Structure 1
C-alpha cells in the first residue's frame, strides 16, 4: 500500500525555520526554541520558551545536586542501621522513593508480593524463596528492605544499573535473581516508563538476549517456577516444601485476587519482535500508517552484518562494514523525519541485544533519540546509564557489602 504524502509546514512571516519534529520535538534548549518554529503561532512558541527557562534552571539544579544524593526522595535515605531495616515511611512515600530511584512506578503485585515474602520469612523477606526455588528478591525490592537508600549510592546511575543484567533493555527491570552460572533472572517488562508492566519476563543472560514471558504478575510467575521445580525435584523433602509453598501462594494470591495463569495484561500487537523476542510497541496510526515502518533488512541480514562489524580484524575492514550499517541508519533518520519513530527504536534495541561493545556509541545515539521522540525520556536515561557501565556476570549489585 502506498504511504500517504506527509504534509509540509511553512513558516511564512514568522522569521523562524520550521522544526521537522513540530510539537513532538524533544529538544528543549533555548537556542533551538529561538531559531525553530514548533507551533502554529509565535505566542505558543514564546510560552514554551518562557516555561523552559524555568524548567532548564530547575533541571540544572537537579543535575548538580544528584551527585551528592540530594535529589533522592527523603523516604529513600536511611542510616543503614538495624533500626532502618524497614523504611519508616508511609506507603505513598515508599512509592515516591522507588520511582525516584528507578524512574518507574511499581505495580500493586510488587508490594503485595513483598508482603507475601514477609509472611514466609519475617527476618529476611528477600531470601524467602531461596531454599526452595533458588531465587532472591533484588532490584527495587532492596529499596523496600532498606538495603538500597540515598546514602549508599553515589549518583542516580547507581540505582538505574542496580541488578541490571547485560541483556536487560530499559523495558525490563530485574526483581528476582537466580543462579550465577546461567544468570537466570525474572523482571517486569513494560512498553513505556509511564505505564505499568505488561508481564513478568525471564532471561538467561549467560546464554542470550532472549526474553520470555512468564506471567501477568509475580504470583503467576512464581507459580510457574514452583511447577517447574516440582517436575525436577527428586527429593521427597524438597517436594513437600514446594507443595507447601504452592499452597501458601495460592491462598495468598486468591485473597488478593491475582490470577495464577500465564495471561498477561492487555497489550497492543507488537510492531516487531526485535532480537530479544518480547516485542516492541509504539504508537501507530493504522489509517495514516504513521508511527512505524520496518527496517530495510531482515533480522538475519542485520545479524550477519553486525557479526561482520564485530569481527572486523582491521580498522579498514571495520569502516567498510560500518558503511552498510550507516545506510540503515540513514533510513532511520528519514523515518524519524516522517514521524515513524518505531524504526529507530527497533534498530537501537537490535544493536543493544547483539551485545557488541563496538556498537555502543552508535546504538546510544539511535536509541536515546528514539526514546525521546516517543516521550520515553526515562528509558533514555536508563540505557545511557547502563551502557556507561555495562558488564557481564552476576556481580550487579551497587550496594557495598561489608
Structure 2
C-alpha cells in the first residue's frame, strides 16, 4: 500500500526493520521513499542530480528513525546537510541560497556537502565530488574546512563514506559501532562497496591530468590527439609561491602580478586551441589558495573554463560563491 505526502512515498511493510542505536522497541512498518517529483526539485535547486545511494541512505536512516533521521547519526557526531535539508523540509526564497547552503570557504563547485560534523569548532564535512555536473559523482570526500582545501576520498557511495569517516574518528562508542555494522549490512544488501579505494575510483585516477591544490585531481575530456589539456608552466609549489608573493604586496608583488597575468594570457591561448583544462586548473588553484584578494583573477579564468567545457552548473555555482564567499558553516535554508 502506498500514499504520497510532501514528496515522499509511504510504503507499508510486513518485514522487520533494521534496528539502529535509536530504534524504538515497537516495530515500525513504514519507510520513506523519495518520489520523482522531489528528486526533480532537488536537482532544480542544487543544479545537479543526486545519485541513488543518496536516496538509499536517506531511506536507511528513516527506517530507523522516521521522525528525525539525524538521531541515527548523532552518536557519531555528524548530521545530514546540504540537499538533505531540503528533504527535511527546509527552504529559501533565494535560489542562490541552495547553492551556498553548507558550501564552505574552500569548497570548489565540484564538491557538494551532504554530511557535516556536529562537534564544536569543527568544520569537517563530507561531500560528493564530480568532474562533470551532468554525470554521476566520482566519489565522496572529506574536507576539514577552514582554509584547508584538501579533499580526502572516503568511498564511491554515501554508505562507504560515512562508514570510513566513523572508522577513522576518535570518538568511537558502542552506538557508533552499531551504526557502522548497520551501514555495512544495508550496503551489502543494496550492492554498495564499502571501502575508500574502489575499482571505480582507481579507474578515475588514470584519467586525472593534474592533482591540483585540493589533491582530488582534475579530469577533463581529452581526445586521441591530446586536445583538451595543457600543463601550466609552473609547478604547484611555484604557483603557491607566486600567489603568496602577490598577497604580500611588497616590492616584488608587481613583478609577481605581471607573471600571473602572463600565465592568464597563456590560458587564453590554450582556450583558443581547445585546451580548456589549463584554465580550469589555474582557476581551481587560485580558488583553493583561499584569499579574497585573488577573486579578480579567479573571475578572469574559472567561469570561462566551466563555460567552455559546457559545465554551466559549475559556472553558476562559482559565480554565486564568489559573490557571497563566507567562512564557517553557512546555513541558508531554514
- What TM bracket, shorter-length normalisation? 0.7 to 0.9
Q: Distance in 2 between matches of 1:88 and 1:134?
A: 27
Change (3 A) 1:135 1:363: same
Q: Distance in 1 between matches of 2:120 and 2:305?
A: 33
Question: Runs ≥4 in structure 1, deviation > 6 angstroms?
Answer: none
Query: Is 1:308 matched with 2:245?
Result: yes
Q: Give the C-alpha shift of residue 123 in structure 1.
A: 1.4
Q: Give the C-alpha shift of residue 274 in structure 1.
A: 0.5
Q: Distance in 1 between matches of 2:5 and 2:265?
A: 52
Instruction: Name the structure with the higher strand share.
Output: 2
Q: Distance in 2 between matches of 1:246 and 1:213?
A: 18
- Answer yes or no: is the 8 Å Cα contact 1:219–1:249 preserved in 2: yes
- Answer yes or no: is the 8 Å Cα contact 1:127–1:137 preserved in 2: no
Counterpart of 2:95 in structure 1 is 156
Counterpart of 2:66 in structure 1 is 122
Q: Distance in 2 between matches of 1:128 and 1:388?
A: 36
Q: Distance in 2 between matches of 1:240 and 1:88?
A: 32
- Determine which structure has more spread, i.e. the larger CA radius of gyration: 1
3-state SS in 1 of match to 2:173: helix
Output one character per residue of 1:13-37: Cα deviation in whole Å (capped at 9) or x when no partner: xxxxxxxxxxxxxxxxxxxxxxxxx
- Answer yes or no: is the 8 Å Cα contact 1:202–1:212 preserved in 2: yes
Change (3 A) 1:346 1:180: farther
- Answer yes or no: is the 8 Å Cα contact 1:180–1:393 preserved in 2: no
Output one character per residue of 1:94-125: Cα deviation in whole Å (capped at 9) or x when no partner: 11101100000000000000011112322111
Alignment of 1:40-51 (within 5 A): none
Counterpart of 1:87 in structure 2 is 7
Counterpart of 1:344 in structure 2 is 279
Q: Give the C-alpha shift of residue 345 in structure 1.
A: 0.2
- Answer yes or no: is the 8 Å Cα contact 1:209–1:276 preserved in 2: yes
Q: Distance in 2 between matches of 1:85 and 1:397?
A: 26
Counterpart of 1:214 in structure 2 is 154
3-state SS in 2 of match to 1:173: strand
Output one character per residue of 1:348-368: Cα deviation in whole Å (capped at 9) or x when no partner: 000000011111122122001
Counterpart of 1:334 in structure 2 is 269
Q: Distance in 2 between matches of 1:125 and 1:95?
A: 18
Q: Distance in 2 between matches of 1:224 and 1:245?
A: 12
Counterpart of 2:113 in structure 1 is 174
Does 118-127 or 208-217 show the bigger shift? 118-127
- Answer yes or no: is the 8 Å Cα contact 1:127–1:135 preserved in 2: no
3-state SS in 2 of match to 1:175: strand
Counterpart of 2:54 in structure 1 is 110
Q: Give the C-alpha shift of residue 176 in structure 1.
A: 0.4
Q: Distance in 2 between matches of 1:351 and 1:166?
A: 13
Q: Give the C-alpha shift of residue 252 in structure 1.
A: 1.4
Counterpart of 2:231 in structure 1 is 294
Counterpart of 2:21 in structure 1 is none
Alignment of 1:206-285 (within 5 A): 206=146, 208-229=148-169, 232-233=170-171, 239-264=173-198, 265=200, 266-267=203-204, 268-285=206-223
Q: Give the C-alpha shift of residue 154 in structure 1.
A: 3.1
- What is the TM-score with the length of structure 1 in the denominator? 0.71
3-state SS in 2 of match to 1:247: helix
Which of 121, 126, 138 pairs up with 1:198? 138
Q: Give the C-alpha shift of residue 318 in structure 1.
A: 4.6
- What is the TM-score with the length of structure 2 in the denominator? 0.85
Change (3 A) 1:291 1:106: same
Counterpart of 2:316 in structure 1 is 381
Output one character per residue of 1:322-363: Cα deviation in whole Å (capped at 9) or x when no partner: 111101101101111111000000000000000111111221
Runs of 5+ in structure 1 lacking a partner?
Answer: 1-83
Q: Distance in 2 between matches of 1:239 and 1:169?
A: 33
Q: Give the C-alpha shift of residue 88 in structure 1.
A: 5.2
Q: Give the C-alpha shift of residue 228 in structure 1.
A: 2.2
